[in-house]
């Protein structure tokens, strides 16, 4: 067991040294005579004649920044918001407390988001990421090309009323078309529209389960069973109706088709 751990540590150290030496701006100096190295690790910011090429250190900073903003991008610029709210409201309408658990709801929402956004991300990869990696376009052109399919998706799901509200609040001139709408106006308008749509769907989901609760409460009250919580009696009926109607098929199908329209 000890030998295996030593091997893992050695392999990890060698892999780290190889990764460090792979960077162009990183110098790894180790003394040959067993003394202390004069410069173990140094990260250098070198000037480049090509403005399109940035140093390795700046690329790392940009990558870390993008990774830190990735959750917000995933939540705000995709279908994740609507799906999560609808599934959460469905759980509350069923009255099943923590079933399905939050991990299941978030996981299902993520995979449905990946499924819905796959064509958008493939288009962005084809038009922006791959040409940028092949040094055919600059970083600014890659960003603009990547935002085009994302903007098209958001515009298709954004209400004109919400978009007009954000333009009015920002005190901007009315744009000639959707392409002229800036991102800082389109994104909050898209989020507001998604919230409104999600709550509308949640309201429609609540109605049949609310009727079942009212009927069960009336029956229990007429039988004089006032001490018995109506939720305990109505939950099996709601689950039975939901399963017989194939509720997951209908809800997931409606959510996915709502974004394809």
Range of the domain at 91: 77-202
pLDDT tens-digit profile of 209-247?
888 888 877 877 777 777 767 677 778 888 888 888 888
Residue 240 included in any domain: no
Residues 85 and 189 in one domain: yes
User: What is the share, in percent, of the chain residues with pLDDT greater than 70?
Assistant: 74
* Domain-ending residue, one of 202, 227, 254: 202
How large a percentage of the chain has pLDDT more than 90? 3
Does the residue 66 lie in any domain? no
Comparison of pLDDT for 185 and 227, the residue scoring more: 185
Residue 128 lies in a domain: yes
In-domain check, residue 178: yes
Taking alpha carbons only, the member of 116, 209, 114 closest to residue 156 is 116
Query: What is d(CA 168, CA 187) in angstroms, rounded to the nearest whole number?
Result: 15
Residue 6 lies inside a defined structural domain of this protein: yes
251 in a domain, yes or no? no
- 7 — pLDDT class (breaks 50, 70, 90): very low
The answer to whether residue 180 sits within a structural domain is yes
User: Residue-wise over 150-188: b if at least 16 C-beta within 10 A, else e?
Assistant: bbebbbebbeeebbeebbeeeeeeeeeeeeebeeebbbb
Same domain, 133 and 37: no
Q: Which of 156, 175, 202 is the last residue of a domain?
A: 202
User: Are 117 and 149 contacting, i.e. CB atoms less than 8 angstroms apart?
Assistant: no
Instruction: Please check whether residue 179 lies inside any domain of the structure.
Output: yes
Whole-angstrom distance, CA of residue 226 vs CA of residue 35: 84
Asked if 34 and 108 sit in the same domain, the reply is: no
Q: Residue 105 burial (CB < 10 Å; 0-12/13-18/19+)? A: middle
Question: Is residue 94 domain-shared with residue 198, that is, in the same domain?
Answer: yes
Residues 82, 198 within the same domain: yes
Tokens encoding 34: 């067993």
Question: Do residue 109 and residue 156 come from a single domain?
Answer: yes
How many domains is the chain partitioned into structurally? Answer: 2
Q: What single-letter DSSP state applies at residue 126?
A: I
For residue 249, report the phi and psi dihedrals to the nearest 5 degrees: -65, -45
Cβ atoms of residues 89 and 204 within 8 Å: no
């Amino acid at each position: 067991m000890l030998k295996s751990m030593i091997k893992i540590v050695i392999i990890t150290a060698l892999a780290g040294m190889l990764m460090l030496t792979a960077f162009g701006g990183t110098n790894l100096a180790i003394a040959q005579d067993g003394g202390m190295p004069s410069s173990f690790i140094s990260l250098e910011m070198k000037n480049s004649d090509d403005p399109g090429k940035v140093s390795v250190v700046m690329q790392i900073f940009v990558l870390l920044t993008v990774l830190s903003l990735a959750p917000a991008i995933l939540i705000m610029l995709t279908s994740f918001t609507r799906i999560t709210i609808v599934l959460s409201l469905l759980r509350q309408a069923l009255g099943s407390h923590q079933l399905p658990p939050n991990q299941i709801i978030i996981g299902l929402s993520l995979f449905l988001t990946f499924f819905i956004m796959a064509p958008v991300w493939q288009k962005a990869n084809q038009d922006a990421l791959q040409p940028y990696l092949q040094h055919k376009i600059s970083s600014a052109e890659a960003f603009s090309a990547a935002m085009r399919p994302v903007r098209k998706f958001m515009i298709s799901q954004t209400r004109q009323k919400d978009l007009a509200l954000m333009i009015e609040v920002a005190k901007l001139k009315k744009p000639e078309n959707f392409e002229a709408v800036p991102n800082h106006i389109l994104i909050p308008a898209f989020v507001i529209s998604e919230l409104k749509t999600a709550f509308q769907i949640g309201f429609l989901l609540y109605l049949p389960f609310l009727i079942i609760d009212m009927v069960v409460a009336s029956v229990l009250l007429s039988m004089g069973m006032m001490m018995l919580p109506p939720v305990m009696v109505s939950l099996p009926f709601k689950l039975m109706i939901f399963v017989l109607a194939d509720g997951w098929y209908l809800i997931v199908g409606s959510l996915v088709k709502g974004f394809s329209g």
